[in-house]
Amino acid sequence: MLRRYPHQLSGGQQQRVVLAQALLLGARVIVADEPTTGQDALTESRIGDQLAAVAARGIGVVLLSHDLDVVRALADEVLVMRAGRVVESGPAARLWAAPRHAWTRRLLDSQGAAPQDRPSGDARQPALVVRDLTAVHGRGNTVLRVPHLALHPGACLAVVGRSGSGKTTLARCLAGLHRDHDGDVLLDGTPLPRSLRHRSHAQLAAVQYVFQDARAAFDEHRPVLHQVARTAVRLPGAGERAATEEASATLARLGLPAEPAHRRPGELSGGELQRAALARALLAHPRVLVCDEITSGLDTVTLPSPSRRRPPVWTRIPGHEPKRVTPVTS
């Protein structure tokens, strides 16, 4: 794995490499910005143990995270921020036992309970089918084998596994971004070209991919609103004005109002960019939405507890109702 190029590593593997680099430099203070984002439960635990061991050696750790379980396990002192201000601070034990600020209480309450059963998807014929898929990296190194996968209309198919298990490679094969594979990906019985470049406009719109690394998916020099609106122009063929209006409305419903939407990507947080990336995919009016760790940058308030039975985001956005959704998550 260490002989691969960075783009051949999963998001979780890239994060572990960066953490290792910081440790090798002999730092006295480590600033860890969401170090467990995109990690499976076992790897998350190992990173937590590593950071705890680092702190035990006398190295200061500044942990930036919206993962409250990780914060509670590692932090001695906690600062709670909202809108650029520290609204509460104090020892972690006291903060959890007796939060004083309303926002802190809301964050802790939003952790919620265990998810409840969801109704199963449509029983009709599969809309998306994968048959005998084998993907390789580099010089024929096989990294993925999927004998069969079927996604039914209206269903939500979750692909789970450890970091580096091939989830993102599978997602990229579905979206036409990883052409080094054998086997078939069929949409309504029609084989999809392996490469994005060979897919028609209708096929491009039908299968949309929301990237795990939202920041890398945007041009840093152009406002986010403009980039989101371009999808509606290029794929459904909307006019510039209509596309901008639809983009603004979609972003607002996803929690990104007009002022930050007019900024460049570098001025937005990771969570804000993930919402913008989802909005951009929705503007294509897709039939299949491939979501690669799209909630990894969202706090527990933006990402409500499943126990609240909040409807999927596209059901709250008029005109955006993809028939099949494929979240790829770890």
d(CA 239, CA 236) in angstroms, rounded, equals: 9
| Ordered structural domains, the chain, with CATH | 11-109 (3.40.50.300), 124-196 (3.40.50.300), 200-302 (3.40.50.300)
Q: According to the model, what pLDDT value does residue 115 have?
A: 45
Outline where the chain has alpha helix (H): 11-24, 41-56, 68-74, 92-97, 102-109, 167-175, 201-206, 224-234, 240-253, 258-261, 270-282
Model-level pTM?
Answer: 0.66
Amino acid of residue 319:
G
Q: What was the pLDDT predicted at 330?
A: 44
276, 256 contact by CB (below 8 A): yes
Distance CA 205, CA 33 (A): 34
The pLDDT of residue 33 is 72
- Give the pLDDT score at 67: 79
CB 227 within 8 A of CB 219: yes
What are the Cα distances from residue 17, in Å, to 21, 31, 165?
Answer: 6, 15, 16
**pLDDT for the residue 230:** 94
Per-residue pLDDT tens for 275-296? 899 899 989 888 788 888 776 6
Spans in the chain with pLDDT lower than 50: 113-116, 118, 121, 305-318, 322-325, 327-328, 330
Q: Within its chain, how far is the Cα of 168 from the centroid?
A: 11
pLDDT the model gives residue 276: 93
The pLDDT of residue 111:
66
